[in-house]
Structure formats: structure tokens, C-alpha cells
Amino acid sequence: MSEPLKATLFALQKRERGGVLLGAFVCFVLMSAVLLGGLLALMLPAFGFDFGNLGATAQTPPNPTTALWIVPVALVWTFAYCVLTASFEAACLRWMIRGERPGLFGMTLDEDTWRVYGIYWIWLLCYAVAWIGFFILNGLLSRLFSDNQIVIWVGWAIYGLLILVAAAALAPASAVSIAERRLVFGDAAQATEDHFGSLLGSYALLFGVQWLLNSGWPVVWMLWALRGDVAQYFESASDPMSAYTAYNSAMAGAMNSPGAMQVYWIISAATLVVSLVFMVLIYGVNARVARLALAEGRIGAAASP
């Protein structure tokens, strides 16, 4: 009988040497801030924003010629950020799976980083294929069952469920690549097959709690900012679309409340940090799956260089 997964809080387990995940987390946040600051410093002047004249009533008119390099800069920035994220994920996985921490708290441009980066490209391809499949399915269902919308909805639901199951089965691909010391994708299904139910439970719990936090705090903030005036925005809401419109109007009204904007951005920054913490917890789930599969012989590690 295989060992229980127990992966939900695997990233928080005490290890022989502490502070590695925290150090990598802080490095990632700081480097991300530097990258974002550099992007804003390059992009905002292109739209007429003058950092040296912040108090002026009118900013410099945008220069149309700068649009020629906006796209290349954005592409380079996206590449750099993806590599940074891959380095962070590789650092976390390497530490939790192999107990190694090269470079700055494990963050380095080594083979593991490029393996994780390669997995990102495979996921992007899978994402595109999934959408193509959906459009094909939707076309077939619309042609065959044009007069039965319920059948079309059921077809969408079944397709979406199959995609979610496949995504969950292959989700630890980066962790399995770190464990096997080579770029693999399909081997993730072998790693998850004996613990798929537990894996789904861990994902559902973590993503569910994160969704509740990310969805709940704007509502709480809006109620605080409007201070009892929320009902007037929803008096005429009679269907989901009008309720959504009323919600957006209430959010806009809350933004105009004294001091509400500052609180909003503070909470947004805190929420971003919390989301990154949940990202590390997901890394921990994937690392636990890979470690257990390695121990049980369902995957095999290549010889270390």
C-alpha cells in the first residue's frame, strides 16, 4: 500500500536547514519589483509621463515613434519575468525534492531553471490546443444541436471537466522534471496516478481558499468604504447582468470615498503577497507528489552530473 500523500502544507514542513524558501520568496518579490519598475520607467515616458515634472498640470505629449519599440521591450520583459519565475519555482522545487540550494537561496540560471521554463512553453501549447478543441466541439454541437441549448451546455461541461482532470494529472510536470533531472511532461501522469484523489483535494482546498480571499476582500472593502450605502446601487438589479453592473457601479462609488483608494491599494499589495504564498504551497504539493513517486519507483532520476 502506498504512503498517504499529505501534500497540502508540505511546503511549510520543518526542514534541516530553515529559511531557504523564505529567502527565495523575498528574492523573487524584490527582483519582480525591480523588473516592474524598469518596465514602467521605460514605458510611461512613451505615453507622455514625465518623471521629472510630476507636479505639472499637463504632461509631455506622447511621442508616436516610441510605439515602435514598445512591443520589443514588452516581449523582452515578458521573457525575463518568465525566466525569473522559472528560477524561483526551480529553487523551491529543488530544495523540497532534492534538498539542494545553489546560487542565491537556490535561485540560479541552471539546467533546472530551463527545464521549468520549457514546461511553461509546453503548458502554453496545451492551452492553445485546449481552446482549439473547444472551438471545434462548440461548432459541432451548435450544428448538431442548434435547437437544444442544454445539450450544448452539457457538452461544454464535460469537455471542461476532462480538461481539468488532465491538467491536474499533469500539473506536477515541473516537479517531476526536477526530480528526474531532465525535461519531462507525460511522466507527471505516472507520478499522480496512485494519489490522484488526494492531489485533487489539495488543489481544491488551496485554490478554493485563495479564491475566497481574492473574491471576498473587495466586497468587504466596498461595504466599509460605502458605509451602509450599498443597497442603493442594487435596488434596480433584477438579473445577473444588472447585478454585475450594479456591483461595478458600487466599486466605482467606493473608490471615491475618502481614504478608500489608499486602503484598496494596500490590501491589493497584501493580497498579491498572499497569492504568492499560495503559489509556493502549490509548489509544495507538486514537490510532495514527485518525491513520493520517486521513492515508490514510479519515476526514476537521471544520474546527477
Q: What is the pLDDT of residues 155-182, one digit of tens each?
A: 999 999 999 999 999 999 999 999 999 9
Q: What is the mean pLDDT of residues 265-269?
A: 88
pLDDT at 57 over 50: no
Q: Which pLDDT score, from 0 to 100, does residue 46 have?
A: 66
pLDDT at 148 over 80: yes
The band of 65, judged by pLDDT with boundaries at 50, 70 and 90, is low
Give the C-alpha separation, 83 to 88, whole Å: 9
The band of 51, judged by pLDDT with boundaries at 50, 70 and 90, is low
pLDDT at 133 over 80: yes
Residues 15/291, Cβ–Cβ less than 8 Å: no
Q: Which pLDDT score, from 0 to 100, does residue 239 have?
A: 72
pLDDT at 60 over 70: no
pLDDT digits (tens, 9 = 90+) for 67-77: 677 888 889 99
| % of the chain at pLDDT higher than 90 | 42
| Length reported for the chain | 305
Q: Which pLDDT score, from 0 to 100, does residue 62 have?
A: 58
Select the more confidently predicted residue: 205 or 54.
Answer: 205
